[in-house]
Structure 1
Amino acid sequence: MQVTTEAVSGVARRLNVSVPTSRINEQFEARLKRTAKTAKINGFRKGKIPLNVVRREFGASVYQEVVNDIIRDTVFEAIQQEKINAVGMPNIEKVENKEDALVYEATVEVYPEVEVKAFDGLEVERQTSEIKDKDVDQMIENLRKQRQTWATTKGMAKKDMQVTFDFEGSIDGEKFEGGAAQDFKLVLGAGQMIPGFEDGIVGMKTGEEKVIDVTFPADYQAENLAGKEAQFKINVKLVEKPKLPEIDAAFFEIFGLTEDQGIDKLKADVRKNMEREVKNGLRNQVKAATFDALVAANDIEVPNAMLAQEIDRLRQQMIQQFTQQFGEQGAKAFDASLLPDDLFKEQAERSVKLGVLVSTVLANAKLEVDPTRVEAYIDEMSSSYEDPTEVIEYFKNDAQQRSQIEAVILEDQVVDHILSTAKVTEKAVSYEDLLKEQQARQQQG
């Protein structure tokens, strides 16, 4: 077999393959004999059909099968012979039977070969943050709000109050689907309804009726309502104000504390958890900033096969998230095939480029996972559980879980390696802003 290779692009190679006719004929004759043993032709007993008859009846189809199989086998032999780091399946073109050989072309995408630019040209902003007493106090207040109850009030509905009401909507006097509900509960200020709806309820009291005018947003998901002016008849049945639990023995007990341990121990525990969040948040922030700078500084041609695989992975990830949120029945009603590739393309391209760059940095720097950092990461992660020892044993002994942790640590090591020579500036941010940024990154994927 003879093979020549030429570059079609930075991520594609064309192989010109020539397979001797003798190899084809040898396999053709062997398969023809096997076919003769099992073929059925009227007038002949099974296994007793003359070979020339089998050749006449089945020769063309058997020969095509042999050609297809030889192309399938030899294309991978050629890829291996030429030491091509292939990505995805090869595309076979221009198959031709010549007198002495079967020749064909095969185009295959290859793993990108990149030369990562020097890190001293990268500019990375590293955030810093510290927990202040007011942050701890606000967190305890949030814990109280999470456990708040509701108390009936005869006063006017205000922001943060819960209102139970009936509503009926209409456009130009005509009711529309989904525009009515009974005993609907709404916390004012939550932003759950279209703009103007909650504002119209503010100031109403129990037993009061009112018609409010609102306009659906121009980009509203229901196209028949988008941009339309509507009227909603509101009938308020109940107005409730929030009632926060007292910071007392019962409140301490929720968190496994005694009254003697009290507020000081609660604050200490809360601060410890917040410090863990800050540490993780800062790690994620500087990693994202470093990788963003790395991708921006290195232009990479992405193979379509790698892009398609990543798009499919992101699509499956969305399906899993949908299942977790809406359950199996909801997921079955969710047709993933309707999600266009363009929805994931930008994120997929960045992910593929970043994967190639990180792999290259790892290889160039000869970085290997630091077992000490892995152990420290597991210890830190398990400290938030009631039984840290059990969690530590789980992560240390479960190969898949440990592999995922090692991948995280390797990424951290790549970040440290890059930052050792990059231009790093520091910016102090509040605890609240740090968490908001982290939540935004998670939503973006």
Structure 2
Amino acid sequence: MELSTPADAPLQRHMRFTVPAADVEAHYKESLRHKAKHARLPGFRPGKVPMPVVERQFGRDALLEAFDELINEQYANALRSHELRPVARPEVNVEQGAPGQDLIFTAVVEVYPEFTPQTPSASLTRNVVEITDEDVERTLTVMRQQRQDYVSVQRAAQAQDRVLIDFVGKIDGEPFAGGSMDDYPVLIGAGRLLPEMENALIGMSAGEEKQVAVPFPAEYPVAELAGKMADFLVRVKDIAEPRLPELDSEFARSLGIEDGDVTTLQEEVRANLQREAERLSRQQLKAGLMQEVLAANVIEVPKALLEQEAERQKQGREGELSAEQVAEVEKRVRLGLILSELARQQQLRAASAKMEQALAEMAEQYEDPREFMAWYRKDQERMENLESMVLEDAVVDWLLERVTVEEQKIGFQDLIGGRAGTGSEG
């Protein structure tokens, strides 16, 4: 076997094989014998068809099978003897192949790069957050806002109110499709109506009517209305203001606190915020670490892997990837190769206990965690993705033990607001 590497494609391996005619003949005859055992031809009992008849009937198929067996055998032996790790299936071309001749074929394959991953010599920053009472209070306020209701009030409408209206619209004095509605609720400030209509509601009271001129924008999605001026007669029927639920036992029970203890709710919110802070902190630390890993390891990336990742990224999108997206694909593939090679050389594994822990954490957000975990385990692809995720975490932990990590105390709002940096100081 002749092996070569093109100067302009350092990850390609070109192999040229010559299989002696005697070996081809042996495989060909063996294939014919196999076919003779199972041949069913008119006038002959199964397994009793004369070999010349078998050869006339199945000779071409037997020769192609012999070629396939020899090509696969020779190619596999070459990979083992030269310790090659192919990225994808080879491109095979048969240059010569016929009864009584040597079989000559070539195989072109792309291989994974051979390199020793370098551990970056960097100083990283781990953001440390201690959840404060203000953080807990702020979160509880958001939770109350998510569960707010509306109460009718006897006053003029203002921002954030929910106003119930009837309206009738006309263009050039004529009604138009979709221009009239009864009992239509409008949340002032939500932007569901055109600005002129929504702004006209501010200051109106229940029972009041107003004529409002509303220009439809030129880019309005309904072509028949785009660029037209409409006149609306608007009547306010009810005004309701938002009311937050009280932070009391009833509110606590609505969030799963069985005994309604507000203190228990506050402690649970604090614990959840602390977990989220630790997750974000590690995420930022990992991002900084990955930047340093990429900078320390400049390697060739197989084109086949780039094409596979690019196709994956294009799923559900129209058009080609932008230059920025292509660069991100290259970075993601290169980082994956580096981490994978680190795991291979350091013999790192995805520990089963860690996989169970990761799966349990994923299941926490579901109503029935055990049911979710059982469903998740049924799919091999999902489990392989989980294993890859846990293995990557193991590699990250291995790297973090070999770089300098300094802690920095920051507030929770700074952490979630992205003002804490990437975790890398260079």
Structure 1 length-normalised TM: 0.68
CA offsets, 1:6-50, max 9 Å, x none? Answer: 224343222222222212212223333555563647xx6576765
Question: How many Å apart are 1:142 and its aligned residue?
Answer: 1.1
Question: How many Å apart are 1:69 and its aligned residue?
Answer: 4.1
Distance 2:217 2:115 in 1: 53
Query: Judging changes above 3 Å, is the alpha-carbon distance between structure 1 residues 92 and 364 closer, same or farther for their aligned structure 2 residues?
Result: closer
1:145 is matched with 145
Q: Given the alignment of the two structures, is residue 240 of structure 1 paired with residue 240 of structure 2, yes or no?
A: yes
Question: How many Å apart are 1:339 and its aligned residue?
Answer: 5.7
Question: How many Å apart are 1:431 and its aligned residue?
Answer: 2.2
| Partner of residue 342 from structure 1, selected from 317, 321, 341 | 321
1:321 is matched with none
| Partner of residue 354 from structure 1, selected from 325, 328, 335 | 335
Q: Given the alignment of the two structures, is residue 110 of structure 1 paired with residue 111 of structure 2, yes or no?
A: yes
Contact 2:171 2:231 in 1 (8 A): no
2:300 is matched with 301
2:2 is matched with 4
**Secondary structure, aligned partner of 1:414:** helix
Distance 2:403 2:307 in 1: 32
Distance 1:398 1:365 in 2: 30
- Given residue 38 of structure 1, which amino acid in structure 2 is its aligned partner? A
1:17 is matched with 17
**Secondary structure, aligned partner of 2:5:** strand
Question: How many Å apart are 1:282 and its aligned residue?
Answer: 1.0
Distance 2:249 2:403 in 1: 52
| Partner of residue 198 from structure 2, selected from 183, 193, 201 | 201
Question: How many Å apart are 1:158 and its aligned residue?
Answer: 4.0
**Secondary structure, aligned partner of 1:342:** coil
Query: Judging changes above 3 Å, is the alpha-carbon distance between structure 1 residues 246 and 72 closer, same or farther for their aligned structure 2 residues?
Result: same
Contact 2:159 2:189 in 1 (8 A): yes
- Given residue 107 of structure 1, which amino acid in structure 2 is its aligned partner? V
CA offsets, 1:269-317, max 9 Å, x none? Answer: 32222112111121122112222332244333332333455456667xx
Contact 2:92 2:105 in 1 (8 A): yes
Q: Given the alignment of the two structures, is residue 26 of structure 1 paired with residue 23 of structure 2, yes or no?
A: no
CA offsets, 1:89-130, max 9 Å, x none? Answer: 11113532387521111111212223333411x464543433
Q: Given the alignment of the two structures, is residue 70 of structure 1 paired with residue 70 of structure 2, yes or no?
A: yes
**Stretch moving more, 350-359 or 414-423:** 414-423
**Stretch moving more, 359-368 or 87-96:** 359-368
- Given residue 274 of structure 1, which amino acid in structure 2 is its aligned partner? L
Unaligned runs of 5+ in 2: none
Distance 1:173 1:278 in 2: 59
CA offsets, 1:347-371, max 9 Å, x none? Answer: 5443332222122333455556689
- Given residue 112 of structure 1, which amino acid in structure 2 is its aligned partner? P
Query: Judging changes above 3 Å, is the alpha-carbon distance between structure 1 residues 172 and 75 closer, same or farther for their aligned structure 2 residues?
Result: farther
1:212 is matched with 214
Distance 1:418 1:179 in 2: 63
Question: How many Å apart are 1:201 and its aligned residue?
Answer: 0.9
2:96 is matched with 96
Q: 1:260-271 counterparts in 2 under 5 A?
A: 261-262=261-262, 264-271=263-270
**Stretch moving more, 102-111 or 412-421:** 412-421
Distance 1:293 1:202 in 2: 52
Distance 1:374 1:35 in 2: 49
Distance 1:407 1:108 in 2: 25
Question: How many Å apart are 1:150 and its aligned residue?
Answer: 1.4
Query: Judging changes above 3 Å, is the alpha-carbon distance between structure 1 residues 74 and 368 closer, same or farther for their aligned structure 2 residues?
Result: closer
Contact 1:145 1:244 in 2 (8 A): yes
How many residue pairs match? The answer is: 400
Query: Judging changes above 3 Å, is the alpha-carbon distance between structure 1 residues 211 and 423 closer, same or farther for their aligned structure 2 residues?
Result: farther
**Secondary structure, aligned partner of 2:87:** strand
**Secondary structure, aligned partner of 1:86:** coil
Distance 1:119 1:78 in 2: 35
**Secondary structure, aligned partner of 2:115:** coil
2:161 is matched with 161
Question: How many Å apart are 1:141 and its aligned residue?
Answer: 0.8
**Secondary structure, aligned partner of 2:88:** strand
Give the alignment's Cα RMSD to 1 decimal. 5.0
- Given residue 271 of structure 2, which amino acid in structure 1 is its aligned partner? K
Distance 2:112 2:211 in 1: 67
Q: 1:40-439 counterparts in 2 under 5 A?
A: 40=41, 45=44, 51-52=51-52, 54-56=54-56, 58-97=58-97, 100-120=101-121, 122=122, 124-153=124-153, 155=155, 157-163=157-163, 185=185, 187-190=187-190, 197=194, 200-204=197-201, 205=204, 208=210, 210-213=212-215, 215=217, 235=234, 239-255=239-255, 256=257, 258=259, 261-262=261-262, 264-310=263-309, 342=321, 348-365=329-346, 367=348, 410-420=391-401, 422=403, 429-437=410-418
**Secondary structure, aligned partner of 2:299:** coil
Query: Judging changes above 3 Å, is the alpha-carbon distance between structure 1 residues 209 and 376 closer, same or farther for their aligned structure 2 residues?
Result: same
Query: Judging changes above 3 Å, is the alpha-carbon distance between structure 1 residues 175 and 350 closer, same or farther for their aligned structure 2 residues?
Result: farther
If each structure's helix is expressed as a fraction of its own residues, which one has the higher value? 1
CA offsets, 1:55-99, max 9 Å, x none? Answer: 455534543343244324432333233221112211113532387
Distance 2:168 2:298 in 1: 55
CA offsets, 1:417-440, max 9 Å, x none? Answer: 4345546576655423533559xx
**Secondary structure, aligned partner of 1:95:** strand
Contact 2:17 2:105 in 1 (8 A): yes
- Given residue 306 of structure 1, which amino acid in structure 2 is its aligned partner? L
